[in-house]
Amino acid sequence: MSMDAIKMLQGKKILLGVSGSIAAYKAATLIRLLVKEGAEVKVVMTTAAAGFITPLTLATLSKNEVPLNISDHNSWNNHVMLGRWADVMLIAPASANTLAKMALGLCDNLLLAVYLSATCPVLFAPAMDEDMWHHPATRSNVDKLISFGHQQIPVESGELASGLFGEGRMAEPEQILTFLQQHFQQKNGRKALNGTTAIVTAGPTIEHIDPVRYISNHSSGKMGIAIAEALADAGANVQLVLGPTSQKTTHPGITVTHVQTAQEMFDAVTTRYPAAGIVVAAAAVADYRPANVADKKIKKGEAQLHIDLEKTPDILRSLGDNKGPQQLLVGFSLETNNEKEYALKKLRDKNLDLIVMNSLADTGAGFNYDTNKVTLFDKNGNERSFPLKSKQAVAQDIVSAIIELQHA
């Protein structure tokens, strides 16, 4: 963690809302982390949350009284002031019940009274079982809260209180801490990647057979463009090297260079590489190209047509071989079998700092979808799996991992 990231929470006023979920036990660790970073923390709880962790525990850790009811500790008057006191209100865990009440504007407990009175930004970290998380009502409530301008801290996948394994786990306290730091960095105009030059490759390449035919693949470029936009949102100056696709970006922080072939992409990236601090190779580059390109359209003739193929330049290997000590290199691994084995091998062989693995076996992941499901492996041996999300949300997860590696 960089010193700049640590200073982001110094003196910040964090209002933590704890609702009724088994994940309430994580509030103790979260409070300790926030206090250690120099934040001032006040806590409001629901009575249901007090069944999982005591107000006394959270009061001791935060060094502030923890009211439960609207009448406690002059809360009838103070709930409005609490909402005005905070720099940010963080609701963690946010149960399905609390999310629903927030979306509807209900106000039957102190936490909700404070929420409705809050004039500060609101962040929420959902926590519930997988079926509850995927229920259309929950999805609608979350979308509505995001439309209010609130920020959702992504759920994680893992073992749930029900004993099942799936999505819905609250983010770990360390992840929530990082999310808060990034929130204040952006609010203060000190974005995490200010001044960093990033190269992103996206889309397919095409390899010509003759003037009208070519070899290509189904990549749409959506994932790479989403990553370029997320990097630009974090303050990076992004050079997007984009293969032939109908997808576009109008982000002012992105300069687009259009290419067609693997050789053109190799040349564009290689030229820009010395000045780059980050490279994300998200393009689906053709591995082979015709050894000889016909200068005229090949006419239909024999029953079979044989085309000799040769390897295209290995862009990622070249970047890894020439990587400087301050450069961070991210690759992708899209597989149909033995996904983890191949991803880790690619991470080692091509000298990557981070690899993004996804599988065509996962429904809703891969080419042409608006969603993706990824697992991240970094050079330090860390593995992090995420549920199926929009490609914009996946891009945020990838950029967060990049920022963490930069600040490690």
Q: List residues forming the annotated binding site for CTP.
A: 287, 297, 313-316, 332, 346, 350
Catalytic residue among 64, 78, 97, 217: 217
Structure tokens at 206: 């095409």
Annotated binding site: 287, 297, 313-316, 332, 346, 350
3-class SS of residue 89: strand
Query: Is-contact 241 263, C-beta < 8 A?
Result: no
Distance between alpha carbon 246 and the CA centroid of its chain, in Å?
24
What single string gives the DSSP state of each residue in 251-318? -TTEEEEE--SHHHHHHHHHHHGGG-SEEEE--B--SEEESS--SSPPPP-SS-----EEEPP-HHHH
In sequence order, the β-bridge partners of residue 93 are: none
Coil vs helix vs strand at 19: coil
Please state, in angstroms and as integers, the Cα–Cα distance from residue 147 to each residue in 79, 143, 150, 407, following that order. Answer: 24, 6, 7, 31
Tokens of 41: 């923390």
217 is catalytic: yes
CB 174 within 8 A of CB 404: no
Sign of CA dihedral 330, 334, 335, 339: positive
- Count other Cβ atoms within 10 Å, centred on residue 408: 12
Find out whether 152 and 142 touch, Cβ atoms under 8 Å.
Answer: yes
Residue 351 to residue 331: CA distance in whole angstroms: 10
In angstroms, the CA 281 to CA 224 distance is 8
DSSP per-residue string spanning 116-167: HH--S-EEEEE---HHHHHSHHHHHHHHHHHHTT-EEPPPEEEE-TTS-EEE
Cite the active site residues: 217
